[in-house]
């Protein structure tokens, strides 16, 4: 490891000892020096502190892989456009971050450490700003979209159909940020639940979470005719390009969204697709009528519900990791597997797939969320 990444990580380790204190100090310095920047952020900053810190973690610990880091920074810079972030804002963030490090890493903060951090941050800021400016030449920062349908599937769950005002390019398996009129400057990511369509519409599966501002507004306070804002499509959990590779798609809860989109894209093209829909009870199978219609139209698609708390499910009963061996019956090595849903389900399923012989490079999941150094990281499908 070269000296510069080592020094950057050593200093950042001091912030990791007290992330709450460090983030409070950072934002205090930022808004004291540049009060106009407060308008770029949501009214409540609690989640913002956590997201910014986790974004820093990703950037700091990627210093040894410049190619991956630059690709990640480019995505962040393009995503920042929907928040109104400009090139000049990065200097203020860098100054506040340096001030925070001087306090929280005082025991290891030297002129050399400051030089290393300054160089690392200058590179990161330049990469993000450059990517944003290139993107601005051909894409808007956000899309206004009309809610054309709002289907309440449960007291806390709705399926929304949206029609963007202009074409919004995306691939099956990706997600978009959503902002509602009720909560300006608060963006939450949701996986798109369909493959691209000729009419350009998108579907989102949204579960209202306790304390979830955007999710609650989308489920309980949104109706056809309303308008929401959508950010650009992001995410790399897209379709395996090998047309001969069979697909295993596993979705739990609203993690079904990207799995359904991948099935819509792959199955009509003639690929063999098995979609496992994980839920505790039959009440959690909120999209089965649509899935059965898709299954009937695509001979290569098999939809299997897996219920962990009901022996009469029409499919295997138990946790997904426990039922996989019988379902796959030794035929795992040639699969491409995709998993989305609650963290415990994803972690347990990924571990089971590895044990069953699915190569790591062919297992795709949504746990490794991309960080956002100004406004927070993307969360997996079904965030608040």
Q: How many CB atoms lie within 10 A of CB 54?
A: 16
Tokens matching residue 195: 């493959």
Q: What is the pTM of this model?
A: 0.86
Contact 62, 370 (CB under 8 A): no
Q: Where are the beta strands (DSSP E) in the chain?
A: 143-154, 157-164, 175-179, 188-191, 202-207, 227-230, 246-252, 273-279, 301-307, 335-340, 363-365
pLDDT at 74: 93
Instruction: Say how many Å lie between the first and final Cα of the chain, rounded.
Output: 39
What pLDDT, on a 0 to 100 scale, did the predictor assign at position 384? 43
pLDDT of residue 211: 86
Give ∠ CA 69-75-78 in degrees, rounded to 5. Answer: 140
Helix (H, G, I), strand (E, B) or coil at 105: coil
- Find which of 140-154, 295-309, 326-340 is predicted with most confidence, using mean pLDDT: 140-154
Percentage with pLDDT > 90 across the chain: 77
Regarding predicted confidence, which is higher, 158 or 372?
A: 158
Contact assessment for residue 128 and residue 375, using Cβ atoms and an 8 Å cutoff = no
Rounded distance between C-alpha atoms, residue 51 and residue 47, angstroms:
6
pLDDT of residue 312: 57
Examine the pLDDT at 370 and tell me if it is beyond 70.
no
Q: How many CB atoms lie within 10 A of CB 88?
A: 9
pLDDT at 265: 96
Taking residues 28-44, report their average pLDDT: 92
Beta bridge partners of 364: 338
Ordered DSSP codes for 331-349: --TTEEEEEESSHHHHHHH
For residues 90 and 384, the model is more confident at 90
pLDDT surpassing 50 at residue 41: yes
What is the pLDDT at residue 311? Answer: 58
The Cα-based distances of 335 to 243, 249, 325, 355, 360 in angstroms read 11, 10, 14, 13, 11
Assign 277 to helix, strand or coil: strand
Cα–Cα distance measured from residue 227 to residue 381, given in angstroms and rounded to the nearest whole number:
21
Q: Best-predicted range by mean pLDDT among 43-52, 235-244, 362-371? A: 235-244
Q: Give the model confidence (pLDDT) of 149-196 as tens digits.
A: 999 999 999 999 999 999 999 999 999 999 999 998 889 999 999 999
Backbone angles phi, psi at 307, to 5 degrees: -105, 125
Burial bucket for residue 302 (CB in 10 Å: 0-12, 13-18, 19+): middle
Per-residue pLDDT of 298-324, as tens digits, reads: 999 999 999 988 655 556 778 899 999
Q: Are strands 246-252 and 202-207 parallel, antiparallel or unpaired?
A: unpaired
């Amino acid at each position: 490891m070269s000296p510069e990444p080592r020094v950057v990580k050593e200093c950042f380790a001091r912030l990791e000892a007290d992330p709450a204190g460090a983030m409070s100090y950072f934002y205090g310095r930022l808004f004291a020096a540049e009060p106009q920047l407060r308008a770029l952020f949501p009214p409540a900053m609690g989640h913002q502190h956590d997201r910014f810190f986790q974004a820093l973690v990703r950037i700091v610990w990627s210093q040894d892989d410049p190619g991956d880091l630059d690709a990640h920074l480019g995505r962040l810079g393009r995503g920042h456009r929907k928040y109104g972030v400009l090139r000049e804002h990065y200097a203020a963030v860098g100054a506040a971050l340096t001030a925070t490090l001087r306090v929280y890493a005082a025991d290891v903060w030297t002129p050399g450490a400051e030089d290393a951090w300054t160089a690392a941050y200058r590179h990161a800021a330049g990469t993000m700003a450059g990517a944003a400016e290139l993107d601005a030449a051909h894409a808007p920062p956000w899309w206004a979209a009309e809610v054309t349908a709002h289907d309440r599937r449960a007291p806390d769950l709705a399926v929304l159909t949206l029609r963007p005002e202009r074409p919004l390019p995306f691939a099956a398996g990706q997600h978009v940020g959503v902002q509602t009129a009720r909560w300006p400057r608060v963006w939450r990511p949701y996986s798109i639940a369909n493959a691209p369509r000729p009419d350009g519409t998108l579907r989102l599966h949204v579960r209202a979470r306790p304390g979830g501002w955007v999710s609650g507004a989308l489920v309980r306070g949104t109706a056809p005719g309303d308008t929401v804002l959508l950010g650009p499509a992001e995410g790399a959990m897209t379709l395996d390009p090998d047309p001969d590779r069979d697909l295993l798609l596993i979705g739990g809860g609203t993690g079904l969204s990207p799995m359904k989109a991948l099935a819509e894209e792959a199955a009509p093209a003639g690929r063999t697709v098995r979609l496992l829909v994980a839920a505790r009870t039959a009440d959690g199978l909120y999209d089965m009528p649509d899935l059965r219609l898709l299954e009937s139209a695509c001979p290569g698609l098999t939809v299997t519900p897996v219920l962990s708390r009901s022996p009469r499910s029409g499919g295997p009963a138990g946790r997904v990791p426990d039922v996989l061996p019988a379902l796959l019956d030794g035929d795992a090595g040639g699969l491409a597997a995709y998993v989305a849903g609650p963290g415990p389900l994803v972690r347990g399923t990924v571990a089971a797939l590895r044990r069953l012989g699915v190569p790591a490079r062919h297992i795709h999941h949504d746990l490794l969320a991309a960080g956002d150094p100004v406004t927070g990281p993307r969360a997996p499908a079904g965030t608040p």
